[in-house]
Amino acid sequence: MSTMTAAPYLMSPSQLHESLSSGGVTVLDASWFMPNSPRKPHGEFNKKRIPGAQFLDLDQVASPHELGLKHMMPTESVFAAACERFGIEPNSHVVIYDTHGVFSSPRALFMFRAFGHGKSSILDGGLPRWETEGFETENAPPVDVKKCTYPTPILDRTVVRSYEQVVANSILDPALDSSAELLVDARARGRFMGTDPEPRPGLPSGHIPHSFSVPFNAFLRTHTIPNISTQYTTFLPLSELRQAVVDALGAEQAELVFTGRRRITTSCGSGMTAGILWLGLRMLGTPSVSLYDESWTGYASRSESRIENSG
């Protein structure tokens, strides 16, 4: 893959606008909504998008799963084929956004980074912030891009955790075993505690043993657009991100994580908002961060999984 310097994790609308003027940038709309949402991301993309953007369907650029789970990490060949359809070359700067502000774009960024495409960023604040800061959108039919050749990459398997790895790690108590990885769960605290239901019918709530609750919105700031009451999210400043990790893990464990002496894995409902925790930790310079691809849906769907329902 490209040996060029990695791009910044975050870009502002003005930075993206300037980069678009310079060329060499591919913009992808990776919007995704929860299964119980009536919103349709591809339909919204067709009605309004950043000029020149293409739609990245994370449920399609994915691998099939024995439990029918969506948006699982694609194979190397599937990822390369998607890049070729988008006209992405190894040296292309890929900028990803979503319509929430920050929600599904970090998961898409995780995919690009895991396959070694370091020239990738997200638009912090997404499409709502782009519009709020006065930049134009388009709604004409998308223009076909020129396909290119994208060499088949190698997935960094050290950043993706499987069910078997998570189960083996859940047996270890991080307070007693220095080899245990910390697992942070981005779901709402009520779902983590087992007091609120999961949005997916029939799936129990609760949490993986020895995991920590870090709701993804603990890493985000909510903004309200004047006059229309529409809200969107951006990442917190680094100092506040760091404090959010300390608050969740405690100062001692957080320091071990920040310095790479303790690995950390992010999880959520289905592997989507785990990307937010992954990105926040990477922005803080955390060296050893993985993502549990199946997350809670895969874990709790298996009858043999041990589920805890206390804080």
Instruction: For residues 32 and 96, give the distance between their C-alpha atoms in angstroms, rounded to a whole number.
Output: 12
The answer to whether 284 and 238 have CB atoms below 8 angstroms apart is: yes
The length of the chain in residues reads: 311
The residue type found at 83 is: C
H-helix or E-strand spanning residue 160: strand 160-161
Q: What are the φ/ψ torsions at residue 200 (nearest 5 degrees)?
A: -95, 120
Q: Which residues are catalytic?
A: 268
pLDDT in tens, 101-157: 999 999 999 999 999 999 999 999 999 999 999 999 999 988 889 899 999 999 999
The answer to whether 117 and 94 have CB atoms below 8 angstroms apart is: yes
pLDDT in tens, 157-189: 999 999 999 999 999 999 999 999 999 999 999
Confidence of residue 34 (pLDDT cuts 50, 70, 90): confident
| pLDDT attached to residue 1 | 42
Q: Which of 292, 301, 270, 295 is nearest to 203 (CA)?
A: 301
The residues that bridge with 220 in the sheet, in sequence order, are 235
| Lowest model confidence (mean pLDDT) among 33-42, 88-97, 231-240 | 33-42
| pLDDT attached to residue 128 | 96
The residues that bridge with 207 in the sheet, in sequence order, are 308
Residue 198 has pLDDT above 70, yes or no: yes
Instruction: For residues 97 and 88, give the distance between their C-alpha atoms in angstroms, rounded to a whole number.
Output: 16
The answer to whether 239 and 267 have CB atoms below 8 angstroms apart is: no
| Tally of CA atoms within 13 A in the half-sphere of 199 that contains its CB | 10
| Lowest model confidence (mean pLDDT) among 64-73, 203-212, 228-237, 256-265 | 64-73
Decide: helix, strand or coil at residue 38.
Answer: coil
| pLDDT attached to residue 298 | 96
Instruction: For residues 56 and 29, give the distance between their C-alpha atoms in angstroms, rounded to a whole number.
Output: 6
Confidence of residue 4 (pLDDT cuts 50, 70, 90): low
